[in-house]
Amino acid sequence: MASLAWPVFDVSLVTAALSALALTLLVVGAHVAHNYWRRMGVVQARSLLFLGHAGDLLLGARNLCDVMDDVYHQLQGHPYGGFYMLDRPCLMLRDPDIIWKMKQDSEHYSRRARKVQMKGIRVDPISKHLFDVDDDRWREVMELYVKGFSPARTERLSCWLEQCGRGVQRALSRRIQGVGWRDVDLLAVCSRFATDSIGCCAFGIECGAIDDPRSTYLQLALKAMYPSRRKNFVEFLSMWHPEIAWIFFFDFFTRDTYDFFKGVALGILQYRQENHLCRDDVMHEFLQARLHGLASEENTPTKFSDDSLVAYVFATFGFGLGIVARALSFCLYELSLHTEVQTRARQQVDAVLKAHGGQLSYEAIHEMTYLDMVLSAEDFSKTTMKFGLASLLEQFELSPCSRTPNRPAKLHPQIHLLTPRETLWVRVSQRAWLSCD
């Protein structure tokens, strides 16, 4: 009987051939993806194959703003241009008129949700805040924020901001008593002010951070704002390829952070219900949504769960603290290096306070128009920062010290919000008499 002869293949050659084919297809696919803007007739910034402009961001080596600054300057002379995050095409607008038109046309924005909700994949409940919801729910929740932080409501709550400003004055005065000056960490001072301001104005709670830097509210919020390299990697990947990021899934926030803010949110809900208390703050809007659902375009209320309540309380507290504290600390850092601007701002603070009998009121703050030229912010944040700035300028002078970082201050590479990489040390001195004429 004739035997069958089977051809013998060299497995190593087949493996090598298949690997080469796969690599070729991968490279070709990357080239096709990274030529999207050229095919659209749009100028694009230079980028790395496969990674685009995301390499340093994935490694936590550079801040997003530094990367975007490079893209911005590469597109010099063009009203807009393209760039890439991994294989995703992104568009940068440089022309102010186009940006303004896009802002006015925001109802057509889409794909706001960063993470894909995949069946069988658990979701960190405290992460389900404004940055992670879909288009329709984003608009519904934004209505809560518009109501909660309206100019009229900010004015009614401004008495609490004055108290926080006076609290910072007393705390710093105690620290420099007997010496006349002290080198301070601006971000630490501003974080304590922001914690108490947001706590009392947004939620009606006393955080006690100005007098106690170990305040639980402050420590947990700051802990959540400083991610590890692994968290930074997964968080960034989830923005652009959520279907891959779920492989690395873990809770972005620790259990103690979730439990603490859950206790805060549900505790406020229970206290206000039991005491029939209606307080004029953003928490009132959240609680109404928890009890009655979110209003929708179909006039059918959508559910606002306990997890949603906790997530939005945390996001409002944590991100609000981050934005106010960081912007205010950078502003004070710059003023310490520009004495003439600081002096002019202080002179206007003195003049306005004199006209208002020394009361740091909402009306007085809004008459300090020069402060708008050194500090600005999307009303509540701006008003809060102006209260803090005016409070400090009224009693103290800021100047560089031996530990003050060189300008411009470097940005922390692993935090999306603008955060200094180095400690912003500045010398705070009891101010000398200064004429407001």
Q: How high is the pLDDT of residue 302?
A: 76
Residue 272 lies in a domain: yes
Q: In this structure, is residue 198 part of a structural domain?
A: yes
Give the pair of three-digit tokens for residue 417: 């919000």
Grouping H, G, I as helix, E, B as strand and the rest as coil, residue 305 is coil
Same domain as 199, residue 58: no
Domain contains 406 = yes
Any idea which of 122-136, 170-184, 380-394 has the lowest mean pLDDT? 122-136
The pLDDT assigned to 63 comes to: 86
- Establish whether the linkage from the previous residue to 408 is cis, with ω within 30° of 0: yes
The pLDDT of residue 72 is above 90: yes
Same domain, 89 and 148: no
pLDDT bracket for residue 141 (50, 70, 90): confident
Worst-scoring range by mean pLDDT, 243-247, 279-283, 360-364, 423-427?
243-247
Q: Total structural domains in the chain?
A: 2
Which of the listed ranges 78-82, 83-87, 269-273 does the model predict with the highest average pLDDT? 78-82
With 70 as the cut, is the pLDDT of residue 52 above it?
Answer: yes
113 pLDDT above the threshold of 60: no
Does residue 272 share a domain with residue 341? yes
Cβ-based neighbours of 320, under 8 Å, separated by 6 or more: 194, 198, 202, 381
Q: Which residues pair with 397 in a beta bridge?
A: 429
Q: Does 86 lie in the same domain as 154? A: no
Averaged pLDDT for residues 315-339: 91
Q: How far apart are CA 263 and CA 90, in angstroms?
A: 40
Asked whether the predicted pLDDT for residue 293 surpasses 60, the reply is yes
Contact (Cβ atoms closer than 8 angstroms) between residue 112 and residue 134: yes
Classify residue 391: in a domain, yes or no. Answer: yes
Average pLDDT over residues 412-420: 82
- In a shared domain, residues 265 and 175: yes
The crossing angle, in degrees rounded to 10, of helices 186-198 and 380-395 is 130
Token pair, residue 214, equals 């170990």
Alpha-carbon distance 325 to 198, whole Å? 11
Q: Is residue 222 domain-shared with residue 83, that is, in the same domain?
A: no
Q: Does 164 share its domain with 309? A: yes
The predicted structure's pLDDT at residue 118: 45
User: What interhelical angle do 135-148 and 282-292 show, nearest 10?
Assistant: 140
User: Residue 176 and residue 395: Cα distance in Å, rounded?
Assistant: 12
- 250 and 384 belong to one structural domain: yes
Averaged pLDDT for residues 38-50: 90
Q: Among residues 59, 75, 94, which one ends one of the domains? A: 94
Residue 119 has what pLDDT?
A: 43
Query: What pLDDT, on the 0 to 100 scale, is given for residue 353?
Result: 96
- The residue type found at 222 is L
Q: State if pTM tops 0.75.
A: yes
Gap between the Cα atoms of 279 and 313, Å rounded: 15
CATH, residue 268: 1.10.630.10
Q: What pLDDT is recorded for position 130? A: 52
User: Using alpha carbons only, what angle is made at residue 293 by residues 133 and 128, rounded to the nearest 5 degrees?
Assistant: 25
Mean of pLDDT over the chain: 83
Cα separation, 410 vs 422, whole angstroms:
7
Distance CA 172, CA 393 (A): 12
Write the pLDDT tens digit of every residue in 348-381: 999 999 999 999 999 999 999 999 998 887 688 9
Please say if the pLDDT value at position 45 is more than 90.
yes
Confidence of residue 6 (pLDDT cuts 50, 70, 90): low
Q: What is the pLDDT of residues 91-102, one digit of tens each?
A: 999 999 988 888
High-pLDDT (> 90) share of the chain, %: 39
Q: Do 162 and 53 lie in a common domain?
A: no
pLDDT of amino acid 303: 80
What is the predicted pLDDT for the residue at 120?
42
User: Which range marks the domain in which residue 342 is found?
Assistant: 142-430
Residue 115 lies in a domain: no
Kindly state whether residues 47 and 161 are assigned to the same domain. Answer: no
The number of C-alpha atoms within 13 Å of 228 and in the hemisphere containing its C-beta is 7
| pLDDT at 68 (0 to 100) | 92
Q: Mean pLDDT across the stretch 221-249?
A: 68
| More confident call, 404 vs 65 | 404
- Is 129 inside any structural domain? no
What confidence category does residue 129 fall into, taking pLDDT thresholds of 50, 70 and 90? low
Is 187 in contact with 329 (CB distance < 8 Å)? yes
Q: Is residue 21 part of a domain?
A: no
Same domain, 55 and 172: no
Say whether pLDDT at 230 is over 80: no
For residues 171 and 259, state if they share a domain: yes
- Look at residue 233 and give its three-state secondary structure: helix
Is 55 a domain residue? Answer: yes
Alpha helices in 306-338 (DSSP H): 306-337
Q: What is the 8-class DSSP label of residue 426?
A: E
